[in-house]
Amino acid sequence: MSNVAPSALQALISKAEALAASDDLDGAIAAFEQVLLLRPNEPYALIQLSYLNSLRGHYRRAEEHALAAARTGTTDPRLLAELLPRLRTFNQVPALQAAIDRAKPMSRMPIPLLIAAAAQLSYVNLPSRAIAFLDEARRADPDYPPTLLARAQVLTYLGRFSEAGQDIERSQRRAPEIAQGYWLSAWVRKQTAEANHIAAIERELKRPGRTAEDIALLAFALHKEHDDLGQHEAAWNALVLGCRAKRSRLNYDTGATAELFESLSTFEPAPPATSTGQGDDTLPIFIVGMHRSGTTLLEQLLDGHPDVRGLGELYDFTSAMRHATDHHCRGVIDRKLVERAAGADLAAAGERYLGSVKWRAEGRRCFTDKLPSNFLNIGFIAHALPQAKILHMVRDPVETCFSNLREMFSEANAYSYDPIELADYHRLYKRLMSHWHARFPGRILDVEYAKLVADPEGELRRVADFCGLPFDPAMLDIGARKRAVVTASAVQVRDSIQVRERPKWAPYEQWLAPMIERLQA
């Protein structure tokens, strides 16, 4: 049907787009499917059908359309800008990399596509590959601020902090109004009285027309810089400003979270429909817990073992559960996914997960999956992957919550910008972890952060024994790690293990009192 008049095809595409814009998702899906009848394998229609089916919650159809769009071999930069994040949504990393490679050579790729490709590679924990695209973008235009800031972020993941700082400074000279630059510069190094950006940040906060996201970036940067200088009252005031700005953009309901956690605690799986993979000698090691509880540190230490490959924060198990339940939701899980999981083939989800991460393990039998929020998935993991080991990082509640409060995440962790909501979330998390321990005795090992930093060898010996691994002294040499770290701890985890005499939250105790009281209630 290649002889279809372009005007007729465009009219149908315009109709589909109008239906989508009016939130008639089913009508838009039907219209784009008509487009495919007229022109099979039209990549734009396939990409839009992937988006629309995601919005309707149909995970498998959305994934199929994204993969079909990738199979068309399109190299149109505008289409790739939409296709790449689609493929990343489904953790179809080999297909994502193939789509990027088809657009090469890099010298012919427009700068926006180079930046987009690098972003998607970073999101899937491949910053070592991402940096090449940003190097090319910088070669094409050495002073383009979006390139410099994107490159600085990836350089931070790679531990190349000096270079990151240079790119940030170069960007700020060209575009001092970009809020992200101040946020990156605040965290890439410790600020001093002689060298800081406080005056510049305060000036930028007064710039007319600032969005809530801009204010959040600037205020979190200002908090970090005042904190570095020991100016705690000013640091707290900046943190409050940043949290309020960020929270204003997010929807969060503690009651809905409580209902979700309750549904997890009553979850009962269906009898297994397929083999549970008991004979598979692959050993996934899940590192879970609250964000900022020390999960990255534990993974860095374990990665030093010759038999263990640290894979970072993966969403492959989340994808496997979405596929098993054919449900696309925001966040790691929602109540509908939990309901559908009761009738899902969890063993098949486990096999799908192992297949999706096998290429990352590079032949190693053991690997770590360090997505903290997988504590929500423990009930599914325990049934889907009977051989898996689950390490639960436990840290002082006030330290954990304060560290969350002063961290600006992307769109995740909406509970972390209000001290009371954060405390309530921590209490729900603790209750759920107590349930998992009771439900799956012996499957979960609590690893205490305080013990890990005070006696790393003793705690690592306990961890290695739990995982069925011989202890290896190389685990203790954290300074020898060269692997990329794509987490909020990218800077701190490069340092040697340090024991603080005084907790980081102590200077803020008077302002944290309501949160502390709530945690202790």
- Indicate the average pLDDT of the chain: 93
Tell me the H-state helices in 189-294: 198-205, 212-228, 232-247, 254-265
Taking CA atoms, 336 is separated from 26, 250, 294, in Å, by 20, 21, 31
pLDDT in tens, 220-264: 999 999 999 999 999 999 999 999 999 999 999 999 999 999 999
Residue 483: the pLDDT is 61
- Sign of the alpha-carbon torsion through 364, 365, 369, 370: negative
Percent of the chain whose predicted confidence (pLDDT) is above 70: 94
Closest CA to 311 of 72, 152, 484, 149: 484
Structure tokens at 351: 């096999």
pLDDT in tens, 287-311: 999 999 999 999 999 999 999 999 9
What band does 493 get if pLDDT is binned at 50, 70 and 90? low
Residue 142: the pLDDT is 96
Q: Which position has the token pair 């992937």? A: 50
Strands of 308-310's sheet in order across: 308-310, 366-369, 283-288, 389-394, 444-448
**How many angstroms separate the CA atoms of 62 and 64, rounded?**
6
